[in-house]
Amino acid sequence: MAKKKMTVLDFKKYKEEGRKFAYVTAYDYTIASIVDESDVEVILVGDSLGMIMLGYKTTVGVTLDDMIHHIRPVVKGAPNTFVAGDMPFGSYQESPEQAIRSACRILAETNCDCVKLEGGVEMAPTIKRMVDVGIPVMGHIGMTPQSATSFGGFKVQGGTPESALKLIKDAKTLEEAGVFSIVLECVPSVVAKAVSEAVSVPILGIGAGPDVDCQVLVLQDLLDMYGDFKPKFVKHFAHIRAEMVKGLNLFHEETVTGAFPTPEYSFNKQVEIPPLDD
C-alpha cells in the first residue's frame, strides 16, 4: 500500500504525538522513486547537490536554476513523499522581496511542498514576510553550510553556553516568524535536546543526537555511496558504492570475455540480409 504523504500540519502533530520520522536527500527521479517506495516520510532536495551531484567543494556555487532543475524530477518521482526544496546561497539573503521571488519560483516551477533556508534570528524578518504571503518555510540553524567559510569550515556549533543559548533563541525566533519545522545541524546532543524542548515545531536533526523529532541524512552518505569524506554523525546503513563497483566489474569482465550478452539478452529474430550492392 502506498504511504500517506505528510502535510505541513502533520509536522507539528507528529511532535505533539512524540512520533519520530525520517528525512533524506534526493536529487533525481530514480532515487526519489526509491525513497518514495520506502517508509521515509520526507525528502530534501538540498543544495548539498553541489557537492554530491556536481563535485563542488561547498554548496555556495549552486544556483536557483540548478535547484529548480533537480527539484522538478524529485517531485515527479516521489508523489507520496513530502518534498522540501532548498533555497541556494544568494537567492534570499538580499531582501524579503528577493526571498519571496526566489521561493515563488521554486514552488511554482517545481510543485514541491515547501522551501528551506538557512539562518537564525537575522533571517526572521524575511521568513515572517514569506510566511505572511503563504510560503511554507522550513528553517535551518546550527552548522549552516552556506556560511561554513565564516565559521572556519564545517564545524560543530553551540559548543559554548553563549552559542547554545543563541541556538535556542534562533529556534524560538524562527518559530515566532512562522516556520513549521527547523533543521538543526551539527550541535552537541545536549544542546539539541534543549532546542527541541524550547519549541513546539519539530527539530529535524542532522548530527544533533537522539533527542530530536526527526533524523536527517544525505542519502548518498547513509547508503555509503559518496566517497569523498564521512562526517562523524553518518552511519552507513548499506554499502551501495561497493555493490555498484562489484556490478560494474562483473559487467566489464563479461564484456571483455564475451560472456555477455547471451541470446537471453539479444534480439534473436532471423533476418535474411541481401548482398551489398557495390
Q: How far is the CB of 14 from ligand KIV (least distance, A)?
A: 18
Q: How far is the CB of 105 from ligand KIV (least distance, A)?
A: 18
How far apart (Å, rounded) are the C-alpha atoms in residues 93 and 117? 9
Mapped onto helix, strand or coil, the DSSP state of residue 143 is coil
Select which of 162, 185, 197, 272 is catalytic.
185
Give the interface with ligand KIV as residue ranges (CB under 6 A).
Answer: 25, 44, 46-48, 86, 140, 183, 185, 206, 216, 218
Nearer to ligand KIV, 68 or 183 (CB): 183
Nearer to ligand KIV, 151 or 260 (CB): 151
The amino acid sitting at 169 is: K
Annotation says 185 is catalytic? yes
Pick the closest to residue 90 from 69, 63, 127 (CA basis).
63
Nearer to ligand KIV, 72 or 140 (CB): 140
- Label residues 167-199 b or e (16+ Cβ within 10 Å = b): bbebbbbbbebbbbbbbbbbbbeebbbbbbeeb
Q: How far is the CB of 193 from ligand KIV (least distance, A)?
A: 19
| Composition of the chain by helix, strand, coil, percent to 5 | 45, 15, 40
How far apart (Å, rounded) are the C-alpha atoms in residues 19 and 133? 30
How far apart (Å, rounded) are the C-alpha atoms in residues 76 and 79? 6
Cβ-in-10-Å burial (0-12, 13-18, 19+) of 53 comes to: middle
Nearer to ligand KIV, 48 or 102 (CB): 48
Nearer to ligand KIV, 25 or 126 (CB): 25
Q: How far is the CB of 222 from ligand KIV (least distance, A)?
A: 12
Q: How far is the CB of 23 from ligand KIV (least distance, A)?
A: 8
β partners of residue 131? none
HSE of 206, CA atoms in CB hemisphere, 13 A: 24
Catalytic center residues: 185
